[in-house]
């Protein structure tokens, strides 16, 4: 019986798919930020959280095009709430965290999308495979605190996540949502 499933990344990747923080470069406040991956195993949604990541953000809504965002996610920190699942997902058939310990996102463009919405385009790299993605991000600011929220849908097969018996998308869906909430203070 199969005992594991893929509940991805991050920001990894998604979170990875961040946007940026105001005029000055700011680091994410990890105690207030979260990056998770949501997938379905046998049509049941599962969510795992990346416990370790870093994000550097530069963003001014009045000059969005000059903003930037970088994120790095520690793949081995993916937590499904069960050590056996965590170990299996970190293994070769899924993330292969020993060979590919980091997932990254580096922005190349930020464009306003109306109101407090922005599209952040950049390279998402998971398991050594880099893909250009565009992440819709919602921005909010309260004093010197900036918040970035978004969801990046990806296909796990594009990043070769789930090999061998786990390549079958009828058991673990190909669609994954990387969800992030990043809080940064200027």
Residue 80 lies in a domain: yes
The length of the chain in residues reads 186
- Report the SS3 class of residue 1: coil
Adjacent-strand bridge partners of 175: 155
Q: Are 156 and 135 in contact (CB under 8 A)?
A: no
pTM as predicted:
0.84
Residue 6 lies in a domain: no
Q: Which two tokens stand for residue 36?
A: 């998770």
Please list the pLDDT of the chain residue by residue as tens digits (186 residues): 344 434 333 333 333 333 333 345 688 899 999 999 999 988 889 999 999 999 999 999 999 999 999 999 999 999 999 999 999 999 999 999 999 999 999 999 999 999 999 999 999 999 999 999 999 999 999 998 999 999 999 999 999 999 988 888 988 999 999 999 999 987
Q: At which residue do the structure tokens 């203070």 appear?
A: 185
Residue 126 lies in a domain: yes
Q: What is the CATH number of the domain that holds 24?
A: 2.40.128.110
**H or E stretch covering 45:** strand 44-50
Distance (Å, whole) CA 42 – CA 172: 6
Residue 116 lies in a domain: yes
Q: How many domains does the chain have?
A: 1
pLDDT value of residue 24: 56
Residue 3 lies in a domain: no
Q: Which two tokens stand for residue 46?
A: 């599962």
Residue 38 lies in a domain: yes
Residue 78 lies in a domain: yes
Domain interval for residue 85: 15-185
Residue 100 lies in a domain: yes
């Amino acid at each position: 019986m199969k005992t594991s499933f893929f509940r991805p990344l991050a920001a990894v990747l998604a979170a990875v798919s961040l946007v940026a923080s105001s005029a000055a470069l700011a680091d994410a406040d990890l105690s207030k930020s979260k990056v998770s991956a949501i997938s379905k195993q046998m049509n049941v949604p599962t969510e795992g959280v990346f416990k370790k990541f870093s994000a550097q953000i530069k963003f001014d809504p009045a000059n969005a095009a000059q903003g930037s965002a970088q994120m790095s996610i520690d793949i081995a920190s993916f937590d499904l709430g069960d050590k056996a699942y965590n170990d299996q997902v970190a293994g070769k058939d899924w993330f292969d965290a020993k060979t590919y310990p980091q997932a990254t996102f580096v922005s190349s463009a930020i464009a306003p999308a109306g109101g407090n919405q922005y599209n952040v385009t950049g390279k998402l790299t998971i398991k050594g495979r880099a893909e250009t993605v565009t992440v819709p991000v919602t921005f909010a600011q309260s004093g010197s605190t900036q918040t970035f929220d978004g969801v990046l849908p990806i296909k796990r097969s594009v990043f070769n996540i789930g090999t061998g018996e786990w390549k079958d998308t009828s058991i673990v869906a190909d669609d994954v949502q990387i969800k992030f909430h990043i809080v940064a203070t200027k």
